[in-house]
């Protein structure tokens, strides 16, 4: 969460930057002080403190302080332990599991329910109007995009996934108002994804990006679902990032399914019945 705030500082207004610097100086104190004292210490107004919290992706001051307290608490540490070439199988097992669990707990504390709600609302509206939902990703993120397409396809949505840059650009060029695009990227710096996102947005589609804070892609989309972690993607193939992206997709798919409600159940039951013939008894 603190890394996310630090990455967001340059894009904030000067007054909000002062609030951000106050958070970084003493996160524990910020989580416990009343808004009046926070405003005095940052030399800003009380509404500015609330605006800062919303600017970095939280519902307001209460939501921000709750997540901040969880992020800096001793009960949820996050220490990424890199896998080394001479690690034993038992060492790799512990490191991979610990890194994944810690990343999920960190996301639980950092995630903005306000931004997630925006993404869910956009996806649910696209479903209700029968418009298109497209998922874009390359490399590992392309696999996540395919998984997302599978989950939302089961909800009866008009959806497809592309991992080829040319196909992404061509498909984005045919989108229109009411369509929705979800762009997934670990680094947030892939040129093909940036190009496709820009085209989709110009065509009037709603653009949702799942990527790291402070990356070019983070500011290219209309709705940014932050996926931050300290993993280095230069040495080994990313592990935590892929699982974190899958987790976010699961949250979106589950919440959208709940929004659709009972109307979805007959189709799911029929699908399950039709698939029984594909299995050995």
40-52 tens-digit pLDDT:
999 999 999 999 9
Domain covering 2-72 in this structure, CATH number: 1.10.10.10
- CA dist 225 and 172 (Å) reads 20
Q: What pairs with residue 209 in β-bridges?
A: 183, 224
pLDDT of 72: 66
Determine the Cα–Cα distance for residues 83 and 239; give it in Å rounded to an integer: 11
**What is the rounded distance in angstroms from the CA atom of residue 50 to the CA atom of residue 27?**
16
Query: What is the spatial distance between Cα 117 and Cα 28, in angstroms, rounded to a whole number?
Result: 27
Which range among 192-196, 199-203, 234-238 shows the weakest confidence by mean pLDDT?
234-238
The stretch 186-190 carries a mean pLDDT of 92
Delimiting residues of CATH 1.10.10.10 domain(s) in the chain? 2-72
pLDDT exceeds 50 at position 76: no
Up-side HSE of residue 111: CA atoms within 13 Å toward CB?
18
Model confidence, pTM: 0.72
Report the greatest alpha carbon distance in the chain.
70
| Structure-derived torsion over alpha carbons of residues 174, 252, 148, 270, reported in degrees to the nearest 10 | -100
Question: Can you give the pLDDT at residue 103?
Answer: 85
pLDDT tier at 231, thresholds 50, 70, 90: low
Tell me the pLDDT tens digit for each residue of 102-152.
888 888 878 888 899 999 999 999 999 999 999 999 998 999 999 999 999
The dotted CATH code for 113-267 is 3.40.50.10490
Both tokens assigned to 45: 């107004």
Segment among 31-35, 57-61, 95-99, 173-177 with least mean pLDDT: 95-99
* pLDDT given at position 1: 74
pLDDT of amino acid 109: 78
Q: Determine the pLDDT at residue 73.
A: 60
- Secondary structure element (H or E) that encloses residue 180, with its range: strand 180-184
**Tokens matching residue 46:** 């009380």
Domain with CATH 3.40.50.10490 in the chain: 113-267
């Amino acid at each position: 969460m603190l890394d996310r705030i630090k990455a967001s500082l340059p894009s904030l207004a000067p007054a909000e930057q002062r609030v951000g610097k106050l958070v970084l100086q003493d996160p524990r104190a910020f989580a416990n002080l009343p808004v009046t004292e926070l405003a005095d210490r940052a030399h800003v107004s009380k509404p500015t403190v609330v605006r800062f919290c919303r600017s970095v992706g939280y519902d307001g001051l209460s939501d921000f302080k709750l997540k901040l307290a969880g992020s800096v608490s001793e009960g949820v540490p996050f220490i990424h332990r890199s896998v080394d070439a001479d690690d034993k199988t038992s060492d790799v097992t512990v490191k991979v599991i610990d890194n994944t669990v810690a990343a999920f707990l960190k996301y639980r504390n950092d995630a903005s329910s306000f931004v997630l709600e925006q993404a869910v609302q956009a996806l649910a509206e696209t479903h209700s109007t029968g418009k298109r939902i497209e998922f874009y990703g390359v490399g590992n993120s392309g696999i996540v995009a395919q998984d997302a397409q599978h989950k939302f396809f089961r909800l009866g949505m008009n959806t497809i996934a592309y991992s080829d840059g040319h196909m992404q650009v061509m498909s984005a060029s045919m989108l229109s108002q009411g369509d929705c695009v979800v762009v997934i990227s670990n680094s947030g710096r892939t040129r093909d994804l940036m190009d496709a996102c820009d085209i989709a947005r110009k065509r009037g589609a709603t653009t949702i990006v799942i990527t790291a804070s402070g990356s070019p892609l983070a500011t290219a989309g209309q709705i940014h679902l932050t996926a931050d972690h300290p993993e280095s993607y230069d040495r080994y193939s990313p592990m935590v990032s892929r699982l974190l992206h899958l987790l976010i997709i699961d949250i979106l798919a589950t919440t959208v399914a709940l929004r659709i409600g009972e109307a979805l159940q007959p189709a799911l039951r029929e699908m399950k019945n039709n698939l029984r013939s594909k299995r050995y008894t």
